[in-house]
Amino acid sequence: MLPDVKLYITYGATEVAGVCCLDFSKYQGKYLCIGKPTKNTAISFFDENSSSIGKASKENPGIFAVDSPTIMQGYWKDSELTKNIIHEGKILLADMGYEDDDGFVYCVGRKDDIINTGGNKVSPTEIEEVATCVKNVNECACIPIPDRILGYVPKLFVVMKESEEFNQREIIDYLSQYLETFKLPRYIECVDSLPKMPGTQKVNRKALLGL
């Protein structure tokens, strides 16, 4: 309908201005891609101990560490919190991702949401994106639950469409076509509704952890 209009995705944070930009009209189909770093910006990747990991990957994403002239000076009257988030002139963000060989950056999710299962890092968002494509699933949410052997495993909550029956085998078979084995939910539970955050209506994962 609007062939001459270009759509752009810009990624940034409260503590730093837009640091990545994607020409969505030109590069469609790049799942979870937030584009390439903007001019005078460099993105590297750190681990949970605030140490550089060098090359991050889809299988081993890292925490975004941004070097940019737009980084904040610090948190107001909170030097300790500032020290925890700014290292060697780089600011550590709350998201995790990686950069491919063509220089495109991908954001797989917030570091607090990433599931570490048997040493593999799994994005619950990726599981949810696939699960919502199951024809009789209305909405869903994925969380980590403790596992004696793997540490944590994914658990998927689903809300079925009206008049549709819950069939766990059907959901697993569908997910198996698009997800690696270690990303498949070990448990799937059907619920009437998902808890939402006031105002934004985003799924409240912390509330799900208590179910």
pLDDT at position 113, please?
86
Residue 62 and residue 41 in contact, taking contact as beta carbons nearer than 8 Å: no
CA 185/CA 24 separation, integer angstroms? 31
pLDDT at position 192, please?
94
Annotation: CATH topology of 115-209: GMP Synthetase; Chain A, domain 3 (3.30.300)
Sheet holding 151-160, edge to edge: 137-147, 151-160, 187-190
Annotation: CATH topology of 8-110: Luciferase; domain 3 (2.30.38)
pLDDT along the chain (211 residues), means of 10: 86 93 87 92 90 86 94 93 89 93 92 89 91 94 94 96 94 95 95 89 85 63
pLDDT at position 59, please?
82
Q: Where in the chain is the domain with CATH 2.30.38.10?
A: 8-110
pLDDT at position 211, please?
63
Hey, CA dihedral for 188, 152, 175, 125, is it positive or negative?
positive
Q: Where in the chain is the domain with CATH 3.30.300.30?
A: 115-209
Q: Residue 143 is which amino acid?
A: I
Q: Residue 129 is which amino acid?
A: E
